[in-house]
């Protein structure tokens, strides 16, 4: 590269002309580098947007499929309760007693599940993560 610059200086005849050509070459390289950097940044931004759209679509689909599965599970549970009621009715147990028994069983199950959820929610304090932020060097 130096020999090319020296050859130009010899051809032009003045060191000032060679310096101007060198500066112009540096400017060309800088403009090319900036153009390539800008192009890469645009490509990365387009990729990030595409991945974010894909993630949003996936989350929406997961939510829809989860709700659909919950609907089917609820339907299956309702049918199971109806079958249990019919079975208890066939055993000469009055329908109101069978219904009350199943309702109480469901209420107890709901209470147990609700308490379990509350117990789990009390553990969502991210204690270890907060410790890492307060003492970043202690984790390793």
Number of structural domains in the chain: 1
User: Domain residues for 8?
Assistant: 1-70
| Residue 90, in any domain of the structure | no
| Residue 111, in any domain of the structure | no
| Residue 96, in any domain of the structure | no
Write the burial class of residue 48 (CB in 10 Å: 0-12 exposed, 13-18 middle, 19+ buried): exposed
- Name the average pLDDT for the chain: 83
For the record, the structure tokens of 117 come out as 């959820």
Give the distance from CA 17 to its chain's centroid: 57
Residue linked to tokens 């050859």: 7
pLDDT tens across 29-88, in order?
889 999 999 999 899 999 989 999 999 999 999 999 999 999 999 999 999 999 999 999
Q: Which of 56-65, 102-111, 122-131 is predicted with the least confidence, judged by mean pLDDT? A: 122-131
Model-wide pTM > 0.75: no
| Residue 126, in any domain of the structure | no
| Residue 130, in any domain of the structure | no
Residue 20: how many CB atoms within 10 A of its CB? Answer: 13
Say whether pLDDT at 9 is over 50: no
């Amino acid at each position: 590269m130096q020999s090319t610059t020296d050859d130009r200086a010899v051809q032009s005849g003045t060191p000032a002309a060679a310096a101007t050509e060198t500066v112009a070459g540096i400017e060309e390289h800088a403009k090319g580098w900036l153009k390539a950097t800008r192009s890469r940044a645009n490509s990365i931004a387009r990729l990030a947007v595409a991945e974010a759209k894909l993630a949003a679509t996936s989350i929406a689909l997961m939510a829809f499929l989860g709700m659909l599965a919950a609907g089917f599970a609820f339907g299956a549970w309702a049918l199971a309760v109806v079958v249990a009621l019919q079975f208890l009715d066939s055993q000469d147990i009055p329908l109101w007693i069978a219904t009350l028994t199943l309702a109480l069983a469901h209420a107890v199950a709901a209470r147990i599940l609700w308490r379990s959820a509350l117990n789990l929610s009390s553990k969502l304090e991210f204690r270890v993560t907060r410790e890492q932020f307060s003492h970043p060097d202690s984790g390793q």
